[in-house]
Amino acid sequence: MLERYYVRPDTVDRIQASWISGAIEQYVRWLSERNYSEKSILRRVPLLVGFGEFAKGQGVTSWAELPTQVEYYVAHRVKKRFGRRKPSPRSKKYGECVRNPIQQMLGLILPEYTGQGRTRPHENPFYKWVPGFFDYLRQEKGLTERTVQSYSHYLRQFAAYLQGVGVSDLKDLSPPVLSGFVTQYRQQVQWPSIRNACGVVRVFLRFVYRERALPRDLSGAVEQPKTYRLSNIPRSISWDEVRRMLEAIDRRTPRGKRDYAILLLLVTYGLRAREVAALTLDDIDWKSERLRIPTRKAGHSTLYPLSPIAGQAIIEYLKFARPQTSCRQLFFRTLAPKSPLTGSAISSTAFPFSP
């Protein structure tokens, strides 16, 4: 495994000459399986070799004694780099960078070692009831380590929920409890995560039933929320996006003047395309600065204050872009035949709007 990261044979020989080389190689293999970068691995290995030499110099002769030297080695490295200066955020961070790979390696070779600070959580939070679940995932289902880690993550979320609602034994599981987990978890994560969590819990519950830790199979009670096509499309765009869209219109052309006025009506009043298409010259009360929206639902019309910006855009369109016609409709096609715009022309044609 070392040859994969070190080209020079003398470097590999120097690492293998360390009395803890077996532990280092096991750790490098562990890092590689979890897709750690080559740069990260190359940074960690010299620290571990140095730790082995330091511990040997302190009279340590067995792996079991190594944990006693971790903090001494960290202090030695920090002092070597920063001298006798007072502890600082930089020196503390460097100490963590030295300590972490050593603790990870010791956690692999010494099952009872937990290191400093937080204890590593067990990969199977339900090992008291079904200790063989992760062996089942690896051996029977043939899952990769990355997928197994995903199972561990979602099961810890499930275990945390059960602890929060006071369920301390798997025999107390019920459909309402499982439904409560799905409901609560979906409020914290996006749909892909809740989908994955439901799949993991269903596999777990089927295994629990197979091992007779539950009297019945409850996997069917875990129903993931339904999703619908196009449900992730945003319901609206931000005002910054609205501004950029309006600025993209070339208002020097007749078509641009018309489209700018239409867009302002859409974004200012939230009108439907057919409501914009139905506007006539008579719906604008310039004296009272009112805009009447006809043909709304149930045949009603609605009066709005006329926005100064929208009003100015309409004036620009009427003076310089609207064709000369006796028809009272407000918006017209810019190309022949110059007929009034329809609602479908506004809503179904990509921006810029219709011809």
Q: Kindly indicate the confidence band of residue 151, based on its pLDDT and cuts at 50, 70 and 90.
A: very high
Across the chain, mean pLDDT equals 86
Contact yes or no for 268/310 (Cβ under 8 A): yes
Q: What's the rounded mean pLDDT across residues 43-56?
A: 93
Q: Which H or E element spans position 290?
A: strand 290-293
Say what the pLDDT of residue 338 is. 87
Q: What is the DSSP string of 117-183?
A: SSPPPPS-TTTTT-TTHHHIIIIIS---HHHHHHHHHHHHHHHHHHHHTT--SGGG--HHHHHHHHH
Identify residue 180 by its one-letter amino acid code.
G
Q: Is the dihedral of CA 97, 1, 5, 8 positive or negative?
A: positive
What 8-state DSSP symbol labels residue 339?
Answer: P
pLDDT over 80 (residue 187)? yes
Say what the pLDDT of residue 237 is. 75
Contact yes or no for 52/19 (Cβ under 8 A): yes
Say what the pLDDT of residue 47 is. 93
How many other CB atoms sit within 10 Å of the CB of residue 200? Answer: 21
The residues, any chain, with a CB within 8 Å of residue 142's CB and separated by 6 or more, are none
How far is residue 41's CA from residue 150's CA, in Å, rounded to a whole number?
A: 23
Identify residue 343 by its one-letter amino acid code.
G
What's CA 99's distance to the chain center, in Å?
30
Helix (H, G, I), strand (E, B) or coil at 228: coil
How many percent of the chain have pLDDT more than 90? 40
Residue 34, token pair as written in the block: 């979890």
Residue 196, token pair as written in the block: 């994955």
How far is residue 350's CA from residue 241's CA, in Å, rounded to a whole number?
A: 16
| Segment 81-132, tens digit of pLDDT | 888 777 888 888 889 899 999 998 998 888 777 665 444 567 788 988 888 9
Contact yes or no for 254/321 (Cβ under 8 A): yes
Q: What is the DSSP string of 260-275?
A: HHHHHHHHHH---HHH
How many other CB atoms sit within 10 Å of the CB of residue 341? Answer: 24
| Segment 267-290, tens digit of pLDDT | 898 888 888 999 999 999 999 999
| Segment 119-131, tens digit of pLDDT | 456 778 898 888 8
Contact yes or no for 67/113 (Cβ under 8 A): yes
Q: What's the rounded mean pLDDT across residues 332-349?
A: 83
How many percent of the chain have pLDDT more than 70? 91
Lowest mean pLDDT among 32-36, 48-52, 349-353: 349-353
Torsions phi, psi of 162, nearest 5?
-60, -40
Smallest CA-to-CA distance from 312 within 261, 244, 268, 259 is with 261
pLDDT over 50 (residue 354)? no
The residues, any chain, with a CB within 8 Å of residue 15's CB and separated by 6 or more, are 2, 6, 21, 24, 45, 49
How far is residue 48's CA from residue 61's CA, in Å, rounded to a whole number?
A: 16
Say what the pLDDT of residue 205 is. 94
Checking 7-15 for CB contacts under 8 A at 24+ apart, the result is 14/49, 15/45, 15/49
Q: Which H or E element spans position 205?
A: helix 191-210
Residue 313, token pair as written in the block: 């855009």
Q: Kindly indicate the confidence band of residue 296, based on its pLDDT and cuts at 50, 70 and 90.
A: low
What 8-state DSSP symbol labels residue 5?
Answer: T
Q: Kindly indicate the confidence band of residue 350, based on its pLDDT and cuts at 50, 70 and 90.
A: very low
Highest mean pLDDT among 187-191, 197-201, 225-229: 197-201
Residue 337, token pair as written in the block: 């035949």
Instruction: State in Å, rounded, how far the first CA of the chain is from the last one.
Output: 66
